[in-house]
Structure 1
Amino acid sequence: MKRKVALVTGGYTGEAEVSFKSSAFVHSQLDTERYEVYPITISVDSWFHVNDAGIKSLVNKEDFSLVINGHLLTFDIAFIILHGSPGEDGRLQGYFDMIGLPYTSCSALTSALTMNKGYTKAILADIPELFVAKSVLLFETDRETAAQQVQEQLKLPYFVKPNAGGSSIGMTKVKESSELTLALEKAFNAENTGQQVLIEEFVTGREFSQGIFRNSAGELVVLPATEVKTTREFFDFEAKYIPGLTEEITPADLSEEQQARAARILQAIYVRLNCRGMVRVDFFLQQETDHFYFIEINTIPGQTPQSFIPQQVRAFGMKEGDFYAELIEAALKSNN
């Protein structure tokens, strides 16, 4: 019998547009012989499914069920492809835990924690071979003294970014002190990011992004890394989603020792944060020291055809549909 999969997408933030593109690609790759897939849109106003005929059915939030053509439809699993809130910050995961529906992503606790970049860095700080840039975490109550705190504790240049944002929204690279106040306001005011701001000293080096997942056999699988080279000041929202601004090299040109070291670090991060399913870790390789510096972890990484994870899955020699099936089957097994 086919598994009934709720492909959950949309969301409450500006990342919803990317979520729809990601979920459409996942939907196109899933094996229809094994899975019945129902896209479910989560928006501030409503949760709903639209069938091929354009008929809209509202989700019953009591049990995440649908009524289609008079028949009650319940799901075996939720495949969460929803970037930002409420899919990436643990809110949906907590809801699914409460109603007993398995899902493909990290737990509610891990998801909520990893949306907070500052807290995540604190937990990962002592992992062997991993380095973290010096940083300052500011809260809404720090607004009036924010610039002074940063200038007293950090050296230029630095990155200013919302502590709980995604897709580099609200992020600025500050090279001169005169740019700081505007950058802080931009980060504090970013929509649905918790009004916390993380400022980090800039690390000079090559930038990489690399996926890791737990397969249906329970094994941790590290995917090939992608090196990011952008014509922008840094890998911002435009660089991520406007073609031609960024060169992405998969697999990245890393030595065998660097590849092995990166794999050890990724596995340690995955275990330390109690991750599930697929995650993606972004990091710098500092030029002077050859040290890997942690940037952030993404627990629901983009899945458009040009996104990092699909690139890495293909470089690994795996079909995207088989990869997504592994995530589904692993989630179902872990729930038993």
Structure 2
Amino acid sequence: MKKNIAILMGGYSSEFDISIKSGNNVFKHIDRTKYNPYRIFITKEKWYYVNESEEKVMVDKNDFSVLINGNKVHFDAAFNIVHGSPGEDGLLQAYFKLLAIPQTACNFYQAALTFNKRDCISALKPYGIVTAKNYFLNKGDAIHENEIIERVGLPCFVKANKSGSSYGISKVKTKEELQPAIALAYKEDDEIIIESFLDGTEVSVGVITYQGKDLVLPITEIVSENEFFDYEAKYLGKSQEITPARISKQDEENVKQLALKIYKTLKMSGFSRSEFIFHKGEPHFIEMNTNPGFTEASILPQQAAVLGISIQELITNSIEEAISKEA
């Protein structure tokens, strides 16, 4: 008997449209010989199912069900591809845990921890994970420009602490650019992380749970046409994403082992994609995404394809791993 799978997309953040693209790609490639897919849109105002005729049916949040043609449909699992809140910060994970419905992303604590860039790097530092120099700000804090520059130097990056797809991020080259960059970041979040500039090769490393084991995918080198790997570079073709990365075998092994160590240290499961910059020959951890992009052009599916793993196989594995985890 085929399983009913809710494909969750949308969300509450600026990444809404990207999540819709990812969700529709999952809907396109899911194995319909094994699953009945249902597109579930998550917005702040409402959660709803959209059928093939684009008709909307509201989700009953009490038990996460939908009423279709007079029949109440329950779900065997939820494919969580909501980028940002509430799909990547632990909220949906906790909701489904309470309802005992399997979902494909990591557990709620790991999601909350990794979504908070400041907390994530703070948790990893005792394990010897090297990161950029950083400075933290909360909305309402006094901004001491000289103190910030003394700590992280120039140029530096100003980032919204809990945001993805490079929303709310600026590269700051002068003291005069610092205040506007902070103001931009506060539009996305009330917490900010300011990091030193790391000059070097940027790579993205996918680590996933595949067939019951932790699997490190081939490494992708990021070459941006812009100042950094910003929204345009990620989604509007302003970058080269080269898989496998043009790095030495030793660097490849080092960053793979580091990515795997982080995945295991944080007790991760499901998909992950971690970003690193080789600065002075050493990989520095930047951040981890636990619901990375899943469009045809997204990095993680590209990496899996190099190993001969199709998008459909990724989807099937993710669903079956989630179900077995909750069994």
Could you state the TM-score of these two structures normalised by the residue count of structure 1? 0.95
Q: Which residue of 1 aligns with 2:73?
A: 73
Q: Which residue of 2 aligns with 1:133?
A: 132
Q: Which residue of 2 aligns with 1:224?
A: 218
Q: Which residue of 1 aligns with 2:251?
A: 258
1:277 to 265, 270, 274: 270
Give the counterpart letter for 1:242 in structure 2.
L
Q: Does 1:196 align with 2:191?
A: yes
Structure 1 residues 12 and 36, CA, compared in 2 at 3 Å: closer, same or farther?
same
- In structure 1, the residue corresponding to 2:140 is in which secondary structure? helix
Are the counterparts in 2 of residues 138 and 146 from structure 1 also a CA contact under 8 Å? no
Are the counterparts in 1 of residues 205 and 256 from structure 2 also a CA contact under 8 Å? no
Q: Which residue of 1 aligns with 2:185?
A: 187
Q: Which residue of 1 aligns with 2:40?
A: 40
1:177 to 163, 175, 178: 175
Are the counterparts in 1 of residues 159 and 185 from structure 2 also a CA contact under 8 Å? yes
CA shift, 1:239, in A, is: 1.2
Are the counterparts in 2 of residues 214 and 220 from structure 1 also a CA contact under 8 Å? yes
Q: Does 1:239 align with 2:233?
A: yes
CA distance in 2 between counterparts of 1:30 and 1:184 reads 41
Q: Which residue of 2 aligns with 1:145?
A: 143
Give the counterpart letter for 2:94 in structure 1.
G
- In structure 2, the residue corresponding to 1:281 is in which secondary structure? strand
Q: Which residue of 2 aligns with 1:162?
A: 160
1:267 to 260, 263, 267: 260
Are the counterparts in 1 of residues 169 and 181 from structure 2 also a CA contact under 8 Å? yes
CA distance in 2 between counterparts of 1:269 and 1:5 reads 30
Give the counterpart letter for 2:206 in structure 1.
G
CA distance in 2 between counterparts of 1:333 and 1:138 reads 41
Are the counterparts in 1 of residues 9 and 82 from structure 2 also a CA contact under 8 Å? yes
CA distance in 2 between counterparts of 1:153 and 1:319 reads 45
Could you tell me which runs of 5 or more consecutive residues in structure 1 were left unpaired when the two chains were aligned: none
1:74-153 to structure 2, matched below 5 A, reads 74-128=74-128, 130-142=129-141, 144-153=142-151
CA distance in 2 between counterparts of 1:147 and 1:105 reads 39
CA shift, 1:146, in A, is: 4.4
Q: Which residue of 1 aligns with 2:31?
A: 31
- In structure 1, the residue corresponding to 2:218 is in which secondary structure? coil
CA shift, 1:141, in A, is: 3.1
Could you tell me which runs of 5 or more consecutive residues in structure 2 were left unpaired when the two chains were aligned: none
Structure 1 residues 152 and 254, CA, compared in 2 at 3 Å: closer, same or farther?
closer
CA shift, 1:98, in A, is: 1.1
Q: Does 1:215 align with 2:215?
A: no
CA distance in 2 between counterparts of 1:265 and 1:255 reads 15
1:48-59 to structure 2, matched below 5 A, reads 48-59=48-59
1:328 to 280, 303, 319: 319
- In structure 2, the residue corresponding to 1:88 is in which secondary structure? coil
RMSD: 1.2
CA shift, 1:207, in A, is: 0.6
- In structure 1, the residue corresponding to 2:143 is in which secondary structure? helix
Give the counterpart letter for 1:49 in structure 2.
Y
2:282 to 274, 279, 291: 291
Number of positions where the alignment pairs a residue of Structure 1 with one of Structure 2: 327
